[in-house]
Structure 1
Amino acid sequence: MSDVQSWIKETVTTNPVVLFMKGTAQFPQCGFSGRAIQIIKSCGVENLVTINVLEDAAVRQGIKDFSNWPTIPQLYVKGEFIGGSDIMNEMFESGEMQALLKA
Protein backbone atom coordinates (compact mmCIF):
# COMPACT_ATOMS: atom_id res chain seq x y z
CA MET A 1 0.00 0.00 0.00
CA SER A 2 1.41 3.39 -0.99
CA ASP A 3 1.81 6.34 1.37
CA VAL A 4 -1.18 8.02 -0.27
CA GLN A 5 -3.33 4.91 0.15
CA SER A 6 -2.26 4.62 3.80
CA TRP A 7 -3.07 8.29 4.38
CA ILE A 8 -6.51 7.95 2.74
CA LYS A 9 -7.30 4.83 4.79
CA GLU A 10 -6.27 6.58 8.01
CA THR A 11 -8.27 9.71 7.12
CA VAL A 12 -11.51 7.86 6.37
CA THR A 13 -11.25 5.57 9.40
CA THR A 14 -10.35 8.21 12.01
CA ASN A 15 -12.99 10.80 10.99
CA PRO A 16 -16.73 10.02 11.10
CA VAL A 17 -17.64 11.89 7.88
CA VAL A 18 -15.11 12.60 5.11
CA LEU A 19 -15.82 14.13 1.71
CA PHE A 20 -13.15 14.04 -0.99
CA MET A 21 -14.16 16.92 -3.26
CA LYS A 22 -13.02 19.49 -5.77
CA GLY A 23 -12.49 22.71 -3.85
CA THR A 24 -13.50 23.36 -0.25
CA ALA A 25 -16.78 23.36 1.67
CA GLN A 26 -16.75 27.17 1.45
CA PHE A 27 -15.73 27.29 -2.22
CA PRO A 28 -16.63 24.11 -4.12
CA GLN A 29 -14.91 23.98 -7.53
CA CYS A 30 -17.55 21.89 -9.27
CA GLY A 31 -21.31 21.55 -9.20
CA PHE A 32 -21.24 17.95 -7.98
CA SER A 33 -19.00 18.83 -5.03
CA GLY A 34 -21.24 21.81 -4.26
CA ARG A 35 -24.31 19.59 -4.24
CA ALA A 36 -22.58 17.05 -1.99
CA ILE A 37 -21.77 19.79 0.54
CA GLN A 38 -25.38 21.06 0.46
CA ILE A 39 -26.69 17.57 1.18
CA ILE A 40 -24.29 16.99 4.07
CA LYS A 41 -24.99 20.40 5.61
CA SER A 42 -28.75 19.96 5.30
CA CYS A 43 -28.38 16.71 7.27
CA GLY A 44 -26.88 18.71 10.14
CA VAL A 45 -23.35 17.26 10.04
CA GLU A 46 -20.99 19.48 12.02
CA ASN A 47 -17.79 17.45 12.14
CA LEU A 48 -17.29 17.06 8.40
CA VAL A 49 -13.75 16.68 7.09
CA THR A 50 -13.28 17.78 3.48
CA ILE A 51 -10.25 16.97 1.34
CA ASN A 52 -9.63 19.19 -1.68
CA VAL A 53 -8.34 16.77 -4.34
CA LEU A 54 -7.32 19.67 -6.59
CA GLU A 55 -4.46 20.48 -4.21
CA ASP A 56 -2.72 17.12 -4.70
CA ALA A 57 -2.70 15.03 -7.88
CA ALA A 58 -1.55 11.94 -5.94
CA VAL A 59 -4.59 12.17 -3.65
CA ARG A 60 -6.90 12.88 -6.59
CA GLN A 61 -5.78 9.66 -8.32
CA GLY A 62 -5.27 7.82 -5.04
CA ILE A 63 -8.87 8.18 -3.88
CA LYS A 64 -10.13 6.82 -7.21
CA ASP A 65 -7.87 3.80 -6.80
CA PHE A 66 -8.78 3.42 -3.11
CA SER A 67 -12.53 3.27 -3.75
CA ASN A 68 -12.34 1.83 -7.27
CA TRP A 69 -14.72 4.67 -8.19
CA PRO A 70 -13.85 6.99 -11.11
CA THR A 71 -15.39 10.29 -10.02
CA ILE A 72 -15.14 12.99 -7.36
CA PRO A 73 -16.78 13.81 -4.94
CA GLN A 74 -16.63 10.70 -2.78
CA LEU A 75 -18.30 10.42 0.62
CA TYR A 76 -17.09 8.19 3.43
CA VAL A 77 -19.04 7.63 6.63
CA LYS A 78 -17.36 5.74 9.49
CA GLY A 79 -14.71 4.43 7.08
CA GLU A 80 -17.23 3.12 4.56
CA PHE A 81 -17.42 4.42 0.99
CA ILE A 82 -20.97 5.66 0.40
CA GLY A 83 -20.74 7.03 -3.13
CA GLY A 84 -20.65 10.14 -5.24
CA SER A 85 -23.02 13.03 -5.83
CA ASP A 86 -25.76 11.09 -7.65
CA ILE A 87 -25.89 8.34 -5.01
CA MET A 88 -25.86 10.96 -2.24
CA ASN A 89 -28.75 12.77 -3.93
CA GLU A 90 -30.80 9.57 -4.26
CA MET A 91 -30.14 8.66 -0.63
CA PHE A 92 -31.04 12.19 0.48
CA GLU A 93 -34.34 12.14 -1.43
CA SER A 94 -35.28 8.76 0.08
CA GLY A 95 -34.29 9.82 3.62
CA GLU A 96 -31.46 7.27 3.82
CA MET A 97 -28.74 9.93 3.95
CA GLN A 98 -30.32 11.74 6.89
CA ALA A 99 -30.60 8.46 8.80
CA LEU A 100 -27.02 7.47 7.95
CA LEU A 101 -25.53 10.79 9.01
CA LYS A 102 -27.53 11.01 12.23
CA ALA A 103 -26.56 7.49 13.31
Structure 2
Amino acid sequence: MSDTAKPIYVVVSGRILQPEKIAPYAEASGPLAQAAGLEFLGHSKPILLEGEWPYTDGMVTIERFSSKAALENFWHSDAYQEAKKLREGVVDIDFIVAVEEPEGDIV
Protein backbone atom coordinates (compact mmCIF):
# COMPACT_ATOMS: atom_id res chain seq x y z
CA MET A 1 0.00 0.00 0.00
CA SER A 2 1.75 3.18 -1.11
CA ASP A 3 1.28 6.44 0.70
CA THR A 4 -0.90 8.96 -1.09
CA ALA A 5 -2.39 12.32 -0.26
CA LYS A 6 -5.69 10.55 0.22
CA PRO A 7 -7.20 10.26 3.69
CA ILE A 8 -6.90 7.02 5.59
CA TYR A 9 -9.68 5.65 7.77
CA VAL A 10 -9.39 3.61 10.94
CA VAL A 11 -12.22 1.46 12.25
CA VAL A 12 -11.85 0.89 15.97
CA SER A 13 -13.92 -1.85 17.54
CA GLY A 14 -13.77 -2.92 21.12
CA ARG A 15 -15.21 -3.44 24.53
CA ILE A 16 -14.06 -1.58 27.63
CA LEU A 17 -13.35 -4.15 30.32
CA GLN A 18 -12.49 -1.73 33.12
CA PRO A 19 -14.32 1.59 32.56
CA GLU A 20 -12.85 3.10 35.70
CA LYS A 21 -9.32 2.70 34.26
CA ILE A 22 -9.77 3.96 30.67
CA ALA A 23 -9.30 7.69 31.40
CA PRO A 24 -5.47 7.62 31.64
CA TYR A 25 -5.22 6.04 28.18
CA ALA A 26 -7.68 8.54 26.69
CA GLU A 27 -5.84 11.45 28.31
CA ALA A 28 -2.46 10.23 27.03
CA SER A 29 -3.46 9.11 23.52
CA GLY A 30 -6.11 11.71 22.65
CA PRO A 31 -3.82 14.75 22.34
CA LEU A 32 -1.25 12.71 20.39
CA ALA A 33 -3.87 11.55 17.88
CA GLN A 34 -5.37 15.02 17.55
CA ALA A 35 -1.91 16.50 16.92
CA ALA A 36 -1.55 13.91 14.13
CA GLY A 37 -4.76 15.17 12.53
CA LEU A 38 -7.32 12.71 13.91
CA GLU A 39 -10.91 13.49 12.99
CA PHE A 40 -13.71 11.44 14.56
CA LEU A 41 -16.37 10.58 11.99
CA GLY A 42 -18.60 8.40 14.13
CA HIS A 43 -18.79 6.63 17.47
CA SER A 44 -21.55 4.41 18.84
CA LYS A 45 -22.59 0.98 19.91
CA PRO A 46 -22.41 -1.11 16.72
CA ILE A 47 -25.61 -1.94 14.86
CA LEU A 48 -25.08 -5.27 13.15
CA LEU A 49 -26.92 -5.56 9.85
CA GLU A 50 -25.56 -8.95 8.85
CA GLY A 51 -22.82 -11.39 9.79
CA GLU A 52 -20.89 -11.40 13.04
CA TRP A 53 -19.05 -8.67 14.93
CA PRO A 54 -16.92 -9.54 17.94
CA TYR A 55 -18.01 -6.62 20.12
CA THR A 56 -21.78 -6.30 19.71
CA ASP A 57 -21.89 -5.19 23.35
CA GLY A 58 -19.03 -2.74 22.84
CA MET A 59 -18.33 0.24 20.63
CA VAL A 60 -17.24 1.10 17.13
CA THR A 61 -15.48 4.31 16.09
CA ILE A 62 -14.58 5.60 12.63
CA GLU A 63 -11.53 7.85 12.54
CA ARG A 64 -9.94 9.79 9.68
CA PHE A 65 -6.32 10.83 9.29
CA SER A 66 -5.11 13.04 6.43
CA SER A 67 -2.71 10.39 5.10
CA LYS A 68 -1.11 7.04 5.73
CA ALA A 69 2.09 8.83 6.76
CA ALA A 70 0.25 10.90 9.38
CA LEU A 71 -1.30 7.76 10.87
CA GLU A 72 1.97 5.82 10.82
CA ASN A 73 3.94 8.68 12.41
CA PHE A 74 1.40 8.83 15.23
CA TRP A 75 1.00 5.07 15.63
CA HIS A 76 4.71 4.27 15.76
CA SER A 77 5.77 7.27 17.86
CA ASP A 78 7.48 6.57 21.16
CA ALA A 79 4.82 8.63 22.96
CA TYR A 80 1.94 6.54 21.60
CA GLN A 81 3.77 3.29 22.30
CA GLU A 82 3.92 4.39 25.95
CA ALA A 83 0.25 5.45 25.92
CA LYS A 84 -0.80 2.05 24.55
CA LYS A 85 0.53 0.41 27.69
CA LEU A 86 -2.19 2.23 29.65
CA ARG A 87 -4.94 0.26 27.88
CA GLU A 88 -3.47 -3.21 28.47
CA GLY A 89 -6.09 -5.28 30.27
CA VAL A 90 -8.46 -2.30 30.30
CA VAL A 91 -9.97 -2.62 26.83
CA ASP A 92 -10.29 -5.44 24.32
CA ILE A 93 -9.80 -3.59 21.04
CA ASP A 94 -9.08 -3.96 17.32
CA PHE A 95 -7.88 -1.31 14.87
CA ILE A 96 -8.52 -1.83 11.14
CA VAL A 97 -7.20 0.50 8.44
CA ALA A 98 -8.97 1.29 5.18
CA VAL A 99 -7.56 3.59 2.53
CA GLU A 100 -9.15 4.61 -0.72
CA GLU A 101 -6.87 3.24 -3.40
CA PRO A 102 -6.65 5.32 -6.58
CA GLU A 103 -6.85 2.31 -8.89
CA GLY A 104 -8.71 -0.97 -9.06
CA ASP A 105 -12.04 -2.28 -7.98
CA ILE A 106 -13.05 -3.81 -4.69
CA VAL A 107 -13.91 -7.45 -5.29
TM-score by length of 1: 0.26
Who wins on radius of gyration, i.e. which is larger? Answer: 2
Higher strand share: 2
TM-score by length of 2: 0.25
Higher helix share: 1
